[in-house]
Chain A
Amino acid sequence: NAGVTQTPKFQVLKTGQSMTLQCAQDMNHNSMYWYRQDPGMGLRLIYYSASEGTTDKGEVPNGYNVSRLNKREFSLRLESAAPSQTSVYFCASSEGQARINEQFFGPGTRLTVL
């Protein structure tokens, strides 16, 4: 099992360009998440999907859109990139159980916006 995979690993964009970050999990998890992590800081939730067919805003959704394509895949789109979106982006998934919400993280995408 690959766990959670993310593509690309690195990306450099110019201000105003658009791109989509891809995330897939092979653990049959219900819930999926997108976080951003700025240097020396914690993870901030951008969007999450509690189950297939649903998506909700997190703490910092402005400038982003998401698509839960199917149970396996959850993509994050930047329509018009800005330097403030320079960050490391992590995708995560979990079974979505109240008794234990263990999240498995992908390796991250390091995005620089010039």
Chain B
Amino acid sequence: GQSLEQPSEVTAVEGAIVQINCTYQTSGFYGLSWYQQHDGGAPTFLSYNALDGLEETGRFSSFLSRSDSYGYLLLQELQMKDSASYFCALTTGGFKTIFGAGTRLFVKA
């Protein structure tokens, strides 16, 4: 089967940079995604890595290393509104998608 591990909580200061790590176990997959979810809301897509390397979208970047079974989400210039839960997710054969348990990010003033 597939499994993903990410830290349960991360705290950072407004304006800083934070990295949320995700390690996974799978026999094969199409790509690694990242989603953001605010309390009471639905998850929203942030980024997807089909290939190794860095993908940048504004203040958010995501990285994948298939050889290390590892990825991360990098958030720059943190804002209070970035306080939310962040999930990594693997897309495998047939577009089956498995999510990690999520990392709760607290941004302090």
Residue positions of A touching B, CB distance < 8 A: 31, 33, 35, 41-45, 48, 50, 56, 58-59, 90, 92, 94, 96, 98-108
Could you list 29 examples of A-B contacts with CB < 8 Å?
A: A41-B101, A42-B87, A42-B99, A42-B101, A43-B87, A43-B99, A44-B99, A45-B98, A45-B99, A48-B94, A48-B95, A56-B94, A56-B96, A58-B96, A96-B95, A98-B30, A98-B31, A98-B91, A101-B31, A101-B33, A101-B48, A101-B95, A101-B97, A102-B33, A103-B33, A104-B45, A105-B43, A105-B44, A106-B42
B71 within 8 A of A: no
B63 to chain A, nearest CB (A): 16
B49 to chain A, nearest CB (A): 9
Chain A: CB-nearest residue to B1: A59
Give the complex CA separation of A92 and B31 in angstroms: 17
Contact-size category for B: 20 to 34
Residue positions of B touching A, CB distance < 8 A: 30-31, 33, 35, 42-45, 48, 50, 87, 89, 91, 94-102
Please indicate the chain B residues that have their CB under 8 angstroms from the CB of A59 in the complex.
Answer: 98
Give the complex CA separation of A20 and B87 in angstroms: 27
Give the number of residue pairs across the A-B interface with Cβ within 8 Å.
Answer: 66
Q: Which of A31, A42, A90, A106 contacts B95 (CB 8 A)?
A: A31
B88 to chain A, nearest CB (A): 9
Q: A56-B94, A58-B96, A92-B43 are in contact. List 7 more A-B contacts (CB 8 A).
A: A35-B99, A42-B87, A45-B99, A48-B94, A101-B48, A101-B97, A103-B35
Give the complex CA separation of A89 and B78 in angstroms: 30
Given known pairs A42-B99, A94-B95, the reply for A107 and B42 (CB within 8 Å) is: yes
Please indicate the chain A residues that have their CB under 8 angstroms from the CB of B48 in the complex.
Answer: 100-102
Please indicate the chain B residues that have their CB under 8 angstroms from the CB of A45 in the complex.
Answer: 96-99
Chain B: CB-nearest residue to A99: B50
B50 touches A100 (CB 8 A): yes
B70 to chain A, nearest CB (A): 18
